[in-house]
Chains A and B, each alone.
Chain A
Amino acid sequence: MIAWLKKARQTRTRVTSASAMAEERIAGLELAARTLCAVLLTVQLLTWLTLFAYDSQLGDSWQSALLTLLPLAALLILWKFSAKRPLVGPRRWLLLLLVPNLWLDIYLCMLGSSSLLENFIPTFPAYGRVLVVTLFPLATVLLSRWNGVPYGVFPLRYLLILMFAISTVFSGADISLRRLQPINLPGLHDLSTGVISGAGAVWPVCLLFLLPLSVPRSQEKKKGLPLFWLIPAVMFLLWALWMSMLHPWQYGDPLLPGQKLTAISQYSRSMLINQLGTLFWTSILPVGLIGSLYAGQEILLTAMPASPRLLWPLALLLPGAVLLLLPRAWVMGWMEWLLPLRWLTAFAAGVALLFVKGKEARA
């Protein structure tokens, strides 16, 4: 312990010059932005599993989750080579391919968040719920200017992990290992359908290579892939395991999205843990929503530097209007088809970037 205290890294510094300090400043921003991307990835993976996969897969959910790491790995490797900085010329336009994905992400977060609010306060009017999930993120992104979102989310990382742990491993929910289905019991077809369905949720891994777009990359070259996807993947697998072991919930009436999200905690024996578990979703969905807005703003301002800063936050109005005006069940039906396409668009953008990069290298 004493030795650890003596050697703790805080009392040492590599900052001995102005350039080293500038490098540290960029590294700090990169760390915060990548942490935000990890949160976005976590939100999408967990939301997909809870809202779309579990209903059909039940005890097989963990198998789909495990295999969903394959499309994640594919995107990770592709974007590692394609996201060359700085993004100038035609390459910055290709980033616009990711904008529809962000819209879908934002819609999912808004849906989950408003449904949680409905779950907690059933008398809260529908338009009021949409206003809450639209205006608060809009105000947050406008007030937080350039880097407020990643810097604001960064200190929450341990709190989110703690709340995740409370809502799964410490929840004391009604789980049993016997409910886990053996590998490949559902058959290759069902499993591949599950993986294709879940592939769309892994796309935020591309953002790890993009954000923050407003500053140059730090000079520090690290070999291999950034490990920021690892914690989301572990959380995803844990969540899938817990859901697979959970007493199935779909026997009664169909549940609202908000009820599905808090299902594990609902089965907890302690009411306090139950509420703390719901807090995980109540806090991570707004983070996901605001993070997607921030990512969209960065992408839009990189692709079209002359566009006004207010433009992208106003894009919230589209998913907000969808949430308010269209029937939820109808939109959810469409979402099952639309969400997997996010992987395709991310993959297409990656390949196009790689192609342009190769062309530039030849030129």
Chain B
Amino acid sequence: MPTEFYRDVEKNVRLMEEMLHLDVNNDVVARRFHAVGLSCALYYVEGMSSGESMGEHLLWPLQSSPLNLSGRNAAREVMKHVLTAPEVKTEANPRKAVQELLFGQTLILFDGCTEAVVADLRSYSRRSVSTPQTETLVVGPHDAFNETLRDNLTLLHRRMATPDFVCSIKSLGDKAATQLAICYVDGLCPRETIEEIQRRLNKINLDQVLTSGILEQLIEDDPYAPLPQMAATERPDRAVSFLMEGQAVLLLDGSPRALALPMGIWHLYHSPDDSYMRWQYGTVMRVLRLIGALLALYLPAVFVSLVIYHPMTIPMTLLTSIVQSRSAIPLSLLGEALLMLLIFDLINESAQRTPSLMGSSLGLVSTLILGSAAVEAGLVSPLLIIVVALTGLGSYALPNYSLSFALRIGQILLLLAAGLMGWTGLCYMSLLLLCWVASMTSLGYPYLAPTSPRRTHNPDIVSRQPVFRQRLRTYVSNPAEMRRTVGPMRWMRKGGGK
């Protein structure tokens, strides 16, 4: 493979035919024509370039140009004096030029010239900017990322009107390349963070990086850890808030979610709603969420442990009711709880995989019919259904899908430990999970920070105080830019007022 195009356009045409398998590949359009006194070849991928723009900005100016060019500089001369397309460049390396072609750009080769003209006339079918699917809000903006990198970057640019906002685009994948944008605010994001991300990206050795999920596993600190080490979001406003906190955001073409890193566990716990509403409401929502998380994690385990090993703790009337309701059930309480959680997760999973119109009905019908049938058949006790339902509600209260999934796994581990060993098992398993999570890092930053280890932070962890008290960026930002502002952040009342 030559590192530069040939001077002879015929040789270049053969090279392109070979690289793009044009004898069998009908998707790449190749057109030969004569313009500016030279024999030319035009290439584009069907459906990825706008025909109208091509006619207006390439073909018409070329073919109507009175210039008569020759020699190595033909491509540059055409770019300077003929083409009216807004984004045009030259590329000498055939491999890189083909890569650009496959990303949707248009290529023109000229006889006698060792460079190709690459024009950006991309126009392909894409999903329009729509509402978020997994991060819905009551108040606040309702736009979400889609699968097109360009659109996603535009959504960020609209909110980041600062010259310090940097988008560095690179390709990933040896065989089929995918475009990736590394976004950060210069000055706020530490240089070490960007260098470390670049280093990890450069180490990727895979034929194709299709989704952000794959990318996440390739560059995260510990792929065996139980929790995600990057905050994924489909909301541009959230991505912007990450950027302003000094984090870097990765956007992969074809993935409708951005990955922010480094991050900590509290990023998974916070929701954009918290900051769109009054701080008191945000605090209440976070407390509710914390209760939900604890319920999701511990309720089945504590219930099973209390009933099996520590029944004296339960008030006598409740204990009698539990014993009576369980008297005809053939399964052990642990088996019953595991079965109910399995059924619940099955309903949840099937409802998610069915079309949205049917999904909610399916969930409702399955829950009602299966639940009442299981109670009537004497398979499970009604109280356990309440416990499992509360557990499910708790996990749904969490704003992050990955976190709620991780909690479901933790819930099963804790349930098994409590069901087999009572309080002792519950304590040992809790400690194991806690120390495991505490040992995690995201790009080298401790996962439980700023609470453990303690770091300087805003009053914005579980409680959320007024916005004018949020004076600092997070501990992952550039230390020199840790303060958001100096001096008062709002008007100050003078005197007693009216």
Contacts and interface: CB of A to CB of B under 8 A. Distances in A.
Interface residues of A, number: 55
A28 B430 CA distance: 23
Contacts of A121: 309, 421-422
B452 A151 contact: yes
Given A24-B455, A31-B454, A151-B453, A11 B469 contact: yes
A20 B428 contact: no
A251 B487 CA distance: 69
B76 to A, nearest CB: 44
B442 to A, nearest CB: 13
Interface stretch (A51-59, A141-149, A330-338): A141-149
Contacts of A32: 452-454
Given A140-B432, A152-B438, A287-B431, A14 B453 contact: no
A15 interface: yes
A146 B430 CA distance: 19
Interface in A134-160: 136-137, 139-141, 143-149, 151-156
B437 interface: yes
A154 B453 contact: yes
B431 A28 contact: no
B478 to A, nearest CB: 8
Given A29-B453, A140-B431, A8 B459 contact: yes
A155 B422 contact: no
Max chain A CB contacts within 10 Å: which of B428, B470, B483?
Answer: B428
A81 interface: no
Interface residues of B, number: 45
A148 B439 contact: yes
A32 B455 CA distance: 12
A173 to B, nearest CB: 16
Contacts of B14: none
B434 to A, nearest CB: 4
B479 A20 contact: yes
A286 B434 contact: no
A278 B309 CA distance: 13
Contact of A120 (B424, B438, B452, B455): B424
B434 A275 contact: no
Contacts of B236: none
A267 B458 CA distance: 44
Max chain B CB contacts within 10 Å: which of A13, A24, A137?
Answer: A13
A155 B459 contact: no
A140 B435 contact: yes
Contacts of A124: 421
Sort A-B residue pairs by CB-CB distance and give the 3 closest, nearest first.
A148-B439, A28-B453, A152-B435
A199 interface: no
A235 B432 CA distance: 26
B431 A286 contact: yes
Contact of A272 (B313, B440, B448, B456): B313
B78 to A, nearest CB: 49
B316 to A, nearest CB: 10
A211 to B, nearest CB: 13
B465 interface: yes
Given A10-B459, A11-B458, A13-B472, A148 B428 contact: no
29 contacts: A11-B458, A11-B469, A12-B471, A13-B456, A15-B456, A15-B475, A15-B479, A16-B483, A18-B480, A21-B475, A21-B479, A24-B475, A28-B454, A32-B454, A113-B424, A121-B309, A136-B431, A136-B432, A143-B435, A143-B436, A143-B439, A146-B439, A148-B439, A149-B438, A155-B434, A271-B312, A272-B313, A282-B427, A283-B430
B310 A275 contact: yes
Contacts of A144: 435-436, 438-439
Interface of A: 5, 8, 10-18, 20-21, 24-25, 28-29, 31-32, 113, 116-117, 120-121, 124, 132, 136-137, 139-141, 143-149, 151-156, 271-272, 274-275, 278-279, 282-283, 286-287, 290
Contact of B456 (A24, A136, A137, A147): A24
B266 interface: no
A283 B427 contact: yes
A132 B479 contact: no
B421 A147 contact: no
B423 interface: yes
Contacts of B446: 28, 147, 151
Given A28-B454, A31-B454, A116 B435 contact: no
B453 A11 contact: no
A141 B469 CA distance: 39
Contact of A132 (B421, B453, B455): B421
Interface string B467-492: 00111100100011011000000000
B454 A13 contact: no
Given A120-B422, A278-B423, A10 B438 contact: no
Contacts of A155: 434, 438, 448, 451-452
A17 B435 contact: no
A32 B450 CA distance: 12
Nearest to B468: A11
B455 A290 contact: no
A275 B423 CA distance: 10
B363 interface: no
A339 B459 CA distance: 45
